[in-house]
Structure 1
Amino acid sequence: MQTPTKTAAHSVYNLNYHIVFVTKYRNKVLTGAIEDHIKEQMPILCERYGWEQLALEVMPDHVHLFVSAPPTTAPVTIAKTLKSILAVSLFKTFPTLKQKRFWGSGL
């Protein structure tokens, strides 16, 4: 069985990254409607930036994301872009989340 490859202007690649996002203080807040919001928004964000979401698993205190990206994108760029945009989206959608668990700071 051949591995699926993608092509760019001057390369053939198959780069997949396993990224784990952890909540601040490992608070178990990623459940219910918040979990549904993450599962809804993550594929949209990946598509917007040209990355392919291969798998997503949301646990109460962390998120596992398996994503494929071109070699021109650093893994740290993927992680910080997705986490920052998703955190802003979560805090706008669930304003009490920021007040109760995170004392006005990041997710």
Structure 2
Amino acid sequence: MEAKRDRVTQHEFRHDRHTVSLLTDHLVFSPKYRRKVLLGEVAEAAEEIIRETCNELDIEVIDLAVNVDHVHLFIKYPPKYSVSWIAKRIKGRSSKLLRDRFPQLKE
């Protein structure tokens, strides 16, 4: 009996004008000193901001989990972006918007 293999299907590939790609990454972000600040409204706002940012950048969020002291983000992204560039955009925007919305986070 042959074991089933998980295979990537053709529809999972990203087809652009000159490229075919399947770029995925698992990112983990944590607040400074791994403080437990991602609770309640802050956690909901963080998830919303991250999803909006990814949507604007044409990045597909495969999975997103906001924990009290870190965020797991699994994404599929276009080849025009580097992982470091994506992380910088998501972390920078979410940090600024969360600190603007919740002043107690600035401490």
Task: Quickly name the TM-score band, shorter chain normalised.
Answer: 0.7 to 0.9
Say which one has the larger Rg. 2
Q: Deviation per CA, 1:13-58: give whole Å up to 9, x if none.
A: 1111101101111101111110010122211111111111111001
- Residue 2 of structure 1 and its aligned partner are, at CA, apart by 3.7
Q: Name which of 18, 34, 44 aligns with 2:52.
A: 44
Partner Cα separation in structure 2 for residue 47 and residue 36 of structure 1: 17
Choose which of 12, 15, 20 in structure 1 pairs with 2:20: 12
> In the alignment, what sits opposite 2:79?
71
Pairs aligned (count): 99
2:41 corresponds in structure 1 to: 33
Corresponding position of 2:88 = 80
CA distance in structure 1 between the partners assigned to 2:23 and 2:66 by the alignment: 22
Distance 2:46 2:85 in 1: 19
List gaps (5 residues or longer) in structure 1: 100-107
* Structure 2 unaligned regions, length at least 5: 1-6
What is the root-mean-square deviation of aligned Cα atoms in Å?
Answer: 1.1
Question: Identity rate of aligned residues, in percent?
Answer: 36
Runs of 4+ in 1 over 6 A off after TM superposition: none
- TM score, norm. by length of structure 1: 0.87
